[in-house]
Every structure is written in structure tokens, then in C-alpha cells.
Amino acid sequence: MKLLIIFNLLFSTTVFAKTNLLIGTVNYPPYFTFKNDIVDGKLTELINKKLSTKYQITWKEIPLARGTYALNKGLIDIYVAYTKASGVDRNVQFSTKPYYSIQPIICSNDLKTNFSVKKIKKSKIIYPTGAGSTEVLNNKENIFTYMSYSEDYSKRAFKMIKFKRADYVLFPENENYKNRTEEFKEANCKNIGKKLNLYLSSKKSNPILKTIEKDFFKN
């Protein structure tokens, strides 16, 4: 009987043991938030939901510029903040499809003007710190004010527009400006640039990516 109990315990431990998984990404609220040893955020929750039943996940804050280094040195297993246009080296492989897509938008509080994104010139634009550049706005006549992308980003940005300190505000995607104040609830917003597709990535010689991709996209 004792041998049977020990066998059952060993078998249960083997079956339910999780694989350790080190995931690297940037600190970019509300998608990934590192604060006081707590990791949170919209995409953190998505990835945890998809993978935590099989993997024991440890998150590491790693800037974009250090992502490939961390993968190649084995400091992390996968990196989740890259697009395929991130300029990463050939030693990095990507998932066959993106795990999340972001459509940037630009907003004005002028509801009367049907503005054209391509004709935005000589304007003061609020831009999230760390966001990728938007080519259509990248001309010498526009003035950019970079602001940390925190929970009160929209409130601060539209306040600057109200007091004529800015003309437009850029958001990574439509969903994230819904918490702005009621005064600017009906802001005039349009899509800008192409969608940003985020991929799971790993070192090219690491076979774990195929397994993770299969687990992530199975539901």
C-alpha cells in the first residue's frame, strides 16, 4: 500500500509539473507594466491566460534594444515585444502569425474639421514615449511632445489640447482612449499608419518557440 501511495504521488508530480518559461518584454503600460516586483498589463494577462496552465512563467523587463542580446545569451526563452520590422538580427525567429495587432489612432478635439492625416503639418502632437515612429507624421514642421503612456495619459493629453498647448494626440489603439474625461468623449479620431503586429520570438536554434506557439494558438 505504501509503495502504491508513493508511486501515485510521483506520478501526479510528473504529470502536473510545469515547464519554466522566461519571457522578456518592455515596460509599456497598459500592455506590459513592471512596478514594485509586480508584472501586470493587458498583454501580460493575455499571455498568462494562454500559457500559465502549462508553463511556470517568469517575466523580465528588457528594452527593445536588448531583446536580441537577451535571447542569444539565453537570459530569456522568448521575447514578446517585437514586430517583424523591429530590425532584429538573423538569429531570431518569429511565430508564424502575430499574437496581437495594434492599430494606432490620432485624435483632435475639433469635431467640425474633417482633418486629413496626410495633411497634418505645422502641428503640435502628443506622442507616447517609446512608441514606434509614424512615417506620415514624421516631417520637420511637426512638433512632438513625448509623454509617458500611463493610465492618465488621455486625461493629460486632452487637457493640453484644451489649453491650446497641443493640436493632436496619438494613441496606440482605439481601445485605450476610452477612459478620457467626459468633456472629450467625442473627440475626432482617425486611424493612422499601418497596424503593428506583435510576434512571439526566440533564438533561432531554440525549438521551444514551436511548442509555445502551438500552446498559445490552440484555443
Q: Are residues 52 and 91 in the same domain?
A: yes
Whole-number Å distance between alpha carbons of 93 and 166: 40
Range of the domain at 60: 14-100+197-216
Cα–Cα distances in Å, from 156 out to 57, 143, 145, 148, 178? Answer: 34, 17, 12, 10, 14
Q: Are residues 37 and 49 in the same domain?
A: yes
What's the CATH number where 176 sits? Answer: 3.40.190
Query: Does residue 130 contact residue 149 with C-beta atoms inside 8 Å?
Result: yes
> Per the structure, how many domains does the chain have?
2
Instruction: Report residues of the chain scoring pLDDT below 70.
Output: 1-16, 86-87, 110-114, 130-136, 174-186, 219
143 shares a domain with 125 = yes
DSSP labels, 60-115: EE--HHHHHHHHHTTS-SEEEEE-TTS---TTEEE-SS-SEEE--EEEES-SS---
Q: What is the pLDDT of residue 188?
A: 79
Q: Which residue has the cell 500500500?
A: 1
Give a yes or no: residue 8 inside a domain: no
pLDDT at 162: 80
